């Protein structure tokens, strides 16, 4: 179960409570691919949104690969990594975490241009681009495209992404503490897709 993974890393009490509740909700769509856009070595939060997670980020690929592998090694009984054949640099990690097989893919790409067709969860914690040629994850246009790919009943998890997702058929179901590398103090919010737009 996703909730048990919260204990694998040290979160503050308030954040832990919020993340446990997020896990309970997103477990409903665990059969779908989930996407974490913009913070690809944040395994701590990434493993909480599914068993098939795609990290998409153009920033420092060598650092991201090393960070993902090191964090998975610290919590997994076995980790394998292989380079994937795609139009952009990509790697697949497979790990055994608390007895569950987890697949994480890292796509070194612009998340405003490359997304899976269907997602159970779309997660954005650092929406502003770190590279000059990357799109902004919180722009109205880019966010509407991403949210259109979330399945009905799926979720949008965000921190510091100021667009109102309600106009795209989402309803906020949770709000709470979520850490992030930011000078801003912002809550994490979980929205559920209740209708298409």
| DSSP per position, 36-71 | EES-TT-HHHHTTS-SEEEEE--S-HHHHHHHHHHH
pLDDT at 41 (0 to 100): 79
pLDDT at 182 (0 to 100): 54
Separation of alpha carbons 96 and 73, rounded Å:
10
pLDDT at 161 (0 to 100): 78
Residue 86 three-state SS = coil
Residue 144 three-state SS = helix
Separation of alpha carbons 103 and 121, rounded Å:
15
Separation of alpha carbons 27 and 192, rounded Å:
12
pLDDT at 1 (0 to 100): 85
- Helix (H) / strand (E) containing 188: strand 187-193
Residue 176 three-state SS = strand
- Give mean pLDDT, residues 92-99: 96
Q: Is the pLDDT of residue 131 over 80?
A: no
pTM of the prediction? 0.92
* Topology of the domain comprising 2-193: Rossmann fold (3.40.50)
pLDDT, tens digit, for every residue of 9-66? 999 999 999 999 999 999 999 999 999 997 777 899 999 999 999 999 887 788 889 9
pLDDT, tens digit, for every residue of 136-167? 777 888 889 999 999 999 999 998 776 789 99
pLDDT at 142 (0 to 100): 87
Q: Which residues are registered as beta bridge partners of 94?
A: 80, 103
Of 57 and 123, the one with more pLDDT = 123
Where do the domains of the chain lie? 2-193
pLDDT at 64 (0 to 100): 84
pLDDT band at 133 (very low <50, low <70, confident <90, very high): low
Average pLDDT, the chain: 90
pLDDT at 125 (0 to 100): 83
Separation of alpha carbons 184 and 47, rounded Å:
24
pLDDT at 181 (0 to 100): 57
pLDDT at 196 (0 to 100): 87
């Amino acid at each position: 179960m996703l909730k048990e993974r919260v204990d694998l890393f040290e979160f503050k009490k308030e954040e832990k409570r919020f993340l446990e509740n997020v896990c309970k909700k997103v477990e409903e769509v665990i059969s779908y691919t989930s996407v974490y856009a913009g913070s690809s070595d944040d395994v701590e939060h990434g493993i909480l949104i599914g068993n098939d997670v795609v990290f998409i980020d153009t920033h420092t690929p060598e650092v991201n690969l090393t960070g993902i592998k090191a964090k998975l090694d610290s919590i997994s009984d076995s980790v394998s990594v292989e380079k994937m054949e795609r139009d952009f640099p990509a790697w697949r990690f497979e790990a055994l975490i608390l007895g569950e097989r987890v697949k994480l893919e890292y796509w070194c790409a612009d998340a405003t241009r490359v997304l899976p067709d269907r997602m159970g969860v779309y997660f954005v914690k650092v929406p502003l681009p770190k590279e000059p040629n990357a799109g902004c994850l919180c722009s109205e246009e880019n966010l509407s495209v991403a949210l259109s790919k979330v399945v009905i009943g799926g979720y949008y998890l965000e921190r510091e992404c100021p667009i109102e997702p309600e106009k795209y058929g989402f309803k906020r179901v949770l709000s709470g503490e979520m850490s992030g590398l930011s000078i801003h103090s912002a809550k994490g919010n979980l929205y559920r897709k209740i209708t298409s737009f």
